[in-house]
Each structure stands twice: as C-alpha cells, then as structure tokens.
Amino acid sequence: AQKVTQAQTEISVVEKEDVTLDCVYETRDTTYYLFWYKQPPSGELVFLIRRNSFDEQNEISGRYSWNFQKSTSSFNFTITASQVVDSAVYFCALIMVPLGGATNKLIFGTGTLLAVQP
Amino acid sequence: SAVISQKPSRDICQRGTSLTIQCQVDSQVTMMFWYRQQPGQSLTLIATANQGSEATYESGFVIDKFPISRPNLTFSTLTVSNMSPEDSSIYLCSIPPGTGHTEAFFGQGTRLTVV
C-alpha cells in the first residue's frame, strides 16, 4: 500500500528563519510522482513542484528548495528566509505511474501547518 | 494546463438541506475527483466521477449522501445531501495527472458550514 507521512503537524518560525518540512513516503512501485502543494488560509491548493521517481536531482526555485532521497524515501521541502506570506498548510502527495488509470489518485500526507511570525 | 471553476466558493446551510457544488473545466477530461477536507485535516477522496458511468465511491462514502453527476467531459456536480454540522468542510474537485499533464489541478474549493 502507498502512504505519505508528514510527521510535523505544526511548525512556527520567525520571519527570515529557514524551515524544512519533512515528507516520507511508502510505495512498492518503482515509478511514481511526488508533489508538494501549498494551501493558504483561503483554501485553494497551489501546486509547488512535481518530482519523477527517476529524477533525484534536487531543485531550487527562489527561496524554495526540495531534497529528494530515494534511499530514505524522503522528499523534504526547505523554505529559506521565510516570510509571513509563507504561512499556510503544506501537503506532500504521491501518485503511481502510469497516469490516467482507473485507480490513479493522489495520496496526500496529513499536512504541515507553517506559521511564520513577523 | 487546465483551469477549473468551482462554485460556490463558500456557503452557510441549515441542517437537513442539500447543497450542490459545481465544477467546470476548460478542457475535456476523462476523470474528475471529489475531495473532502474536514477542519484541520488532510484531503480525503470521496469519489471518482467518470463521464457516462456511475461515480466510484471510496470506503465510507455513499451515493445517497453524496450524489455526483457527470453529464459531459467538462462538467461535474457533487451534492451534499441532508446536511449535518459534521459535513462542514472544504470540498474540492480535481483533475488527476494524466495524458499531457503531470500535475493535479484543483478547483478553488467550496467552504461549507452547516448550522
């Protein structure tokens, strides 16, 4: 069975601190995608990144960076120099490949609530 | 990419009534998913809506409570029937990753409060 674990329920930091959100996943499949989504207080889900299981290259986008380690089944997300606007719930998610199958659905972690204090 | 328009964005409803949520997609898609997010919780899949067939419900969700329509490849509705305060949640429709796109797209969400 597939599972995504986000052990950190809530994290509180002060603006300009760096923060890392952890994501650990379980799957027996060798081909899958991993995602991070941001959910601000307004409720919509904002796509942040997708990572293919065959691509372990880390990625940086502005203040955001992602560390994908297949050996430890982790896909951690770091925000550098956090800002108040980063305050949101962040979800890690997993989906099997091939896409578009009848049971093809995103498996979400329980989310991490990040509060960035001014 | 795809754009999903979901409405209403929020509503406050009396217990015992029903609310229908609509999602319109700007392209044709085979599958649409409906999720529920209870306060402080993660997203839970309610059902998969396929055009031309009955929706497939996840364990714990039944058609009588959450009837779904999928009249064509760009539109779907979810009805929350005979509501109780426990139905207060955010409801989201979604297009899963598939041919031509490898991210899931979500509607803006419907924030439902049952009083």
* Residue whose C-alpha is closest to residue B87's, from B106, B114, B105: B114
pLDDT of residue B59: 93
Is A64 within 8 Å of chain B by CB? no
Residue A103 has pLDDT above 60, yes or no: no
Q: Distance, in angstroms, between B42 CA and closest chain A CA?
A: 5
A4 close to A109: Cβ distance less than 8 angstroms: yes
Q: Is the pLDDT of residue A18 over 90?
A: yes
pLDDT of residue B29: 87
Looking at residue B99, its pLDDT comes to 60
Q: Number of A to B CB contacts under 8 A, please give it.
A: 61
CB neighbour list of residue B68: distance below 8 Å, 6 or more residues apart: B34, B47, B49, B55, B76, B77, B78, B79
Chain-chain contact of A47 with B94 (C-beta, under 8 angstroms)? no
Nearest CA in chain B to A113: B40
